[in-house]
Amino acid sequence: MFFHVGIGLMATVFREAMVIYFFMVVSYLLYRVFSLPNKHLEVLIATSYIVGAEVFFRMTKAYFLYETGKYMVIVFLVIGMFYNGFKRSSLTYVTYLLLLLPGVYISFLNQEFDTTFRQTILFNLSGPLCLTAAAMYCYGRSLKLKEFFTCLNFMIYPLISMTIYIYFYNVNIRDVITGTASTSATSGGYGPNQVATILGLGVFILYSRFLIPYKNKLVHLVMMFMLLAFTHRAIITFSRGGVFVGIIMVVVFTIIYYFISKIRTKFVITSRVVAVLGACIAIWTFSVLQTGGLIANRYANKDALGREKEDVTTGRVHLVNADLKAFSKYPVFGLGVGRSSVFYEEELNIELPSHNEVSRMLSEHGLLGILALLILLFAPLVTKLNGRKNIYFYPFIIFWLLTIAHSSMRIAAPAFIYGLSLLNIDYGKKETPVHREQIEK
């Protein structure tokens, strides 16, 4: 944990070293997977770290290829399936992937087979490939609660480094903010949408550990400090999607955890929720003062002068409408993989990729895309009906669905988190993890 504070400082002082650090990370994780006996756990630890570090590595130019994070997640999960196999029932997700392949052929018919075509296909299918690998590996598997928390910790560690880097990237926020649009200046020089998304996930994970405390008091104190830091920096990106998704996950988890807990624990949860609300008010007030009120305008859908903006979705609704129009024109097989951006240019005269994976599935894959989405929605519910226990199930499914709806599958996180939602968590002798004595670091 403290090591990753140092990594954040190193990236600030000597960013070029992050390339070396990336290779060191991959080597270390591969060593753990191949040498340690519990390969099932080690594969999930490795993928958790890669998912948590993906945006940070992109931000610091540690990757040679933009989609390296997703590729590494797939590699580790395939290694895991080589050692541990996969459940036959998980082949449902192969069907999901196969339903997307006709879209590749449709795209091939409308575009020359060149480097651009291959890049377009890889860019658009890397997310579904990542999700398929994660779902197939996790489907039907179990983890002890302590092991599950270990995976979440490994996802948090690189986020600590990233947050340290972001804080030092621009120390004086007021000097770099000129309006209410989301800005890379407060996001480590990288895409605010992706930064807010992964920080929002980090906020939720650490919030859940606020309700279910770390056994080590020092670790708990440091992690709760990082919870405040994650929250602050997620807000300051001026990107609202990741923040709203994090809030929804927090609310859902709190409700679930409250109702499965005993009376005594309910009082503890209530007091902690009150403390969180107080901390949120303090962080929000500080952020408003720090940005000269611009962040308040952003969340009120106003510009820098306080005038209300016409479109609260910052143009996303126009892209969704274009996707629906494309679906009505090509309802069976769709436009083809990656062709929605071409359709946007023709219909809206704008050059943008889709931000909504759900509507993109309709426009690019047609009815086959609808079938693929139905598989993704109902397959997890089957695991729940079969008695699988996972207190993170609903928050994780919500993260996946809402994230792909506002940020598509730009990063590996929604795909991998979807996979984690399929795990069965072994709480030990007790039915639910409601007592502090049961919770270990």
Cα distance between residue 348 and residue 334, in whole Å: 18
Cα distance between residue 128 and residue 115, in whole Å: 21
**pLDDT at res. 435:** 45
Cα distance between residue 200 and residue 215, in whole Å: 24
CA distances from 166 to 5, 78, 188, 229, 285 (A): 12, 33, 5, 10, 20
Which residue, among 56, 285, 4, has the nearest Cα to 169 in the 3D structure? 56
Low-confidence ranges of the chain (pLDDT < 50): 431-441
**pLDDT at res. 430:** 52
**pLDDT at res. 112:** 67
Entry pTM? 0.92
Cα distance between residue 221 and residue 285, in whole Å: 23
CA distances from 234 to 59, 140, 323, 439 (A): 15, 34, 29, 28
